[in-house]
């Protein structure tokens, strides 16, 4: 646990008592603060009270009269589409609003670090797609190199739940826009931006607000090194803002699909090969084509980002290459499920938006595509022209018919995962891939994308015997 510093003896309100909220309350208590907790869910309050935390209805008049700071869980809106009433009450009372990420960065360094020859470092990864894979891949690379490393945030443990890092230790964080937009302290040593596509637009009042939330990771604290994907205009702009000139190697530009030129520090993947160039000269090259844990151009982009971050931490190209070869992949992200009768079955339930689904489809030549679910803002227009590999789509979800009519491929309305898997398996020919890449959220039928992916795996496994 990382004890929170700076609030000894002070009342600190915690709104939302899920994983991050309870972890924040525990870390505040460990730092001698007095947590004052609230969650609209009675069961969550009971769980907090069972751990000895006091609960107070933060919606009531005067609830913030003695509160030093309000800590808000990521899922609770503080501005758009409208602030949670408790958040607004705190703002009206002049009480600062923060989150567990802000507490983490203000509390990580301790006087003990003065005795270290090599201070711990933090790598923070944000972006629309590929964050989890990039974090898990970098963690795997560092672990393979014998480094002390922990991953946290949206993946692994809560940021305040981790162990205090030792000398030379590395903490790798996955940070969503919900986390970066509110944190009052954001000071990673290395910041990584994977890419940007339309997502969470209601929470951020549009794409500009969404990008602004991501950009805070780079603008607020000024990382020593910035690894930035430049395959979208926002990434090009961000890299330009962070760089002091063409040869400024504090910025590493990353691309998948095109060669990056110039005298700066560049890492890119083309035709399955990763290349590193620095000061106009090639410094490394890796063949990614046979690495089963990293299929497709989108995973090659993730590999470039993780490679670049590992290089900033002093690892040699050959050491990184060996780790990439043994990376097993993450559940629900281009996850191999089975290979039977010449047909591959792949679970990419994490493809919850259109852009991630397009990238999943592009990784395979002939696809029986299981898609559908709770459609996100922005519609499905971006799928048009990107479905050339699709032999047929098998649409699930409560609004399957509406989803299906927006697709530019042959479709079959299946409704449920069981029917979709049955029909796709019946149609699939040797050399094809049955791919779950929904291009939609899961919440119309499932509690999470993990539950949806598990259902796909169970249906495939049962039918293959």
Give the residue ranges of the annotated binding site for ATP: 127-133
Which two three-digit tokens encode residue 148?
Answer: 């002390």
CA-CA distance, 267 to 229, in Å (whole number)?
A: 9
CA-CA distance, 290 to 386, in Å (whole number)?
A: 24
- Residues annotated within a binding site: 127-133
- Which single residue is written with the structure tokens 């409208």? 82
**Residues found in the chain:** 465
Q: Are the beta carbons of 380 and 354 closer than 8 angstroms?
A: yes
From residue 304, give the alpha-carbon distance in Å to each of 231, 254, 354. 12, 6, 22
Burial 385-413 (b: 16+ CB within 10 A, else e): ebbebbbbbbbbbeebeebbeebebebeb
- Which single residue is written with the structure tokens 């489809």? 361
From residue 257, give the alpha-carbon distance in Å to each of 271, 298, 360. 7, 9, 15
From residue 381, give the alpha-carbon distance in Å to each of 231, 239, 348, 353, 385. 19, 28, 20, 12, 9
**Measured in whole angstroms, how far is the alpha carbon of residue 3 from the centre of its chain?**
25
CA-CA distance, 44 to 48, in Å (whole number)?
A: 6
């Amino acid at each position: 646990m990382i004890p929170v510093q700076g609030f000894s003896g002070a009342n600190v309100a915690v709104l939302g008592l899920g994983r991050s909220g309870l972890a924040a309350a525990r870390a505040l208590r460990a730092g001698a603060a007095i947590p004052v907790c609230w969650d609209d869910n009675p069961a969550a309050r009971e769980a907090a009270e069972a751990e000895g935390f006091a609960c107070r209805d933060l919606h009531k008049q005067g609830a913030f009269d003695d509160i030093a700071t309000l800590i808000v869980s990521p899922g609770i809106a503080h501005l758009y589409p409208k602030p949670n009433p408790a958040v607004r009450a705190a703002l009206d009372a002049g009480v600062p609003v923060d989150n567990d990420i802000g507490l983490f960065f203000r509390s990580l360094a301790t006087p003990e670090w003065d005795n270290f020859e090599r201070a711990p470092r933090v790598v923070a990864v944000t972006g629309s797609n590929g964050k989890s894979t990039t974090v898990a891949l970098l963690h795997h690379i560092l672990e393979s190199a014998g480094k002390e490393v922990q991953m946290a945030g949206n993946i692994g443990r809560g940021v305040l739940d981790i162990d205090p890092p030792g000398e030379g230790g590395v903490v790798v964080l996955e940070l969503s826009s919900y986390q970066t937009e509110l944190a009052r302290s954001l000071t990673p040593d290395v910041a990584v931006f994977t890419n940007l596509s339309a997502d969470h637009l209601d929470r951020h009042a549009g794409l500009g607000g969404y990008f602004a939330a991501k950009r805070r990771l780079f603008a607020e604290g000024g990382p020593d090194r910035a690894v930035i994907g430049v395959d979208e205009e926002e990434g090009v702009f961000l890299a330009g803002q962070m760089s002091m000139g063409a040869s400024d190697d504090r910025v590493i530009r990353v691309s998948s699909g095109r060669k990056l030129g110039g005298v700066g520090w560049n890492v890119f993947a083309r035709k399955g090969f990763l290349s590193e160039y620095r000061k106009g000269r090639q410094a490394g090259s890796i063949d990614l084509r046979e690495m089963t844990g990293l299929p497709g151009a989108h995973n090659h982009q993730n590999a470039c980002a993780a490679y670049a971050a590992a290089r900033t931490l002093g690892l040699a190209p050959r050491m990184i290459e060996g780790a990439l070869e043994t990376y097993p992949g993450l559940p629900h992200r281009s996850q191999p499920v089975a290979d039977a009768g010449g047909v591959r079955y792949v679970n990419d339930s994490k493809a919850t938006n259109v852009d991630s689904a397009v990238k999943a489809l592009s990784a395979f030549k002939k696809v029986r595509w299981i898609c559908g679910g709770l459609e996100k803002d922005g519609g499905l227009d971006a799928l048009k022209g990107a479905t050339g590999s699709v032999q047929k789509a098998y649409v699930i979800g409560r609004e399957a018919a509406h989803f299906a009519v927006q697709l530019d491929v042959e479709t079959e309305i299946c409704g449920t995962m069981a029917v979709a898997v049955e029909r796709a398996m019946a149609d699939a020919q040797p050399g094809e891939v049955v791919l779950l890449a929904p291009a939609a959220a899961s919440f119309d039928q499932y509690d999470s994308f993990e539950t949806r992916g598990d259902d796909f795996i169970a249906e495939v496994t049962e039918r293959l015997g």
